Amino acid sequence: PAAHTADLVVFGGTGDLSMRKLLPALYHSDRDGRLSPETRVIALSRGGLTDADFRGKVDAQVRDVVPVDDHAMWQRFLGRLHHLTVDVGGQDRTGWDALRATLAEDRDRVFYLASPPRTFGPFCREVDRAGLVTPRSRVVLEKPLGHDLPSAQRINDEVGAIFDEHQIFRIDHYLGKETVQNLLVLRFANAFLEPIWNSLWIDHVQITAAETVGTPGRRGYYDHAGALRDMVQNHLLQLLTLTAMEPPARNDREAIRDEKVKVLQALRPITGGEVGRFTVRGQYTAADGMAGYLEEPGSTPPTESSERVETFTAIRAEIRNWRWAGVPFYLRTGKRLPNRRSEIVVQFKDVPHSIFPGGSPNRLVLRLQPEEGIELHIMAKEPGAGEVSLKPVPLSLNFGETFPARVPEAYERLLSDVLAGNPTLFMRRDEVEAAWRWIDPILDAWRSSPELPEPYPAGTTGPAGAHELLGRSGRAWHEEE
Ligand code: BG6
In this prediction the ipTM stands at: 0.97
323 carries a ligand binding annotation = no
CA–CA distance, 376 with 368 (Å, rounded to integer): 15
- How much is the CA Rg of the chain, to the nearest whole Å? 24
Residue ID of nearest Cα to ligand 1 atom 2? 230
How much is the pLDDT for 406? 83
Query: For atom 15 of ligand 1, which residue has the closest CA?
Result: 211
Query: Does a cis peptide bond (omega within 30 degrees of 0) precede residue 370?
Result: yes
The arithmetic mean of pLDDT across residues 169-185, rounded, is 94
State the closest ligand 1 atom to the C-alpha of 368, by its place in the atom list counted from 1: 16
pLDDT digits (tens, 9 = 90+) for 88-145: 888 889 999 999 999 988 899 999 999 999 999 999 999 999 999 999 999 999 999 9
The alpha carbon of 200 and the centre of ligand 1 are apart by a number of angstroms equal to 34
CA distance 27 to 66: 8
User: Which whole-number Å values give the CA distances from 171 to 134, 140, 143, 235, 290, in the listed order?
Assistant: 21, 7, 7, 10, 32
pLDDT at 313: 98
Which ligand 1 atom sits closest to the C-alpha of 143?
3
% of the chain at pLDDT higher than 90: 84
Ligand 1 atom, smallest distance to 177 CA: 14
- Residue ID of nearest Cα to ligand 1 atom 8: 230
> Is 21 annotated for ligand binding?
no
Residue 86 has a pLDDT of 93
32 known member of a binding site = no
| Arithmetic mean of pLDDT over the chain | 94
- Reported as a pLDDT band with limits 50, 70 and 90, residue 404 is confident
pLDDT at 189: 96
- pLDDT tier at 444 (50, 70, 90 boundaries)? very high
Contacts (Cβ under 8 Å, ≥6 apart) of 43: 10, 13, 14, 18, 54, 81, 82, 83, 84
Residues 6+ away with beta carbon under 8 Å from 116: none
**467 annotated to bind ligand:** no
Pocket-forming residues, ligand 1, beta carbon under 6 Å: 143, 209, 211, 230, 342
- Rounded to the nearest whole angstrom, what is the distance from the C-alpha of residue 334 to the centroid of ligand 1? 10
Q: Strand, coil or helix: what is 202?
A: strand
Q: Count helices and strands (H / E) in the chain.
A: 17, 15
**What pLDDT, on the 0 to 100 scale, is given for residue 480?**
55
Amino acid at 134: T
Pairing label, strands 454-457, 279-285: parallel
> Hey, which residues are catalytic here?
235
The DSSP bridge partners found for residue 312 are 282, 334
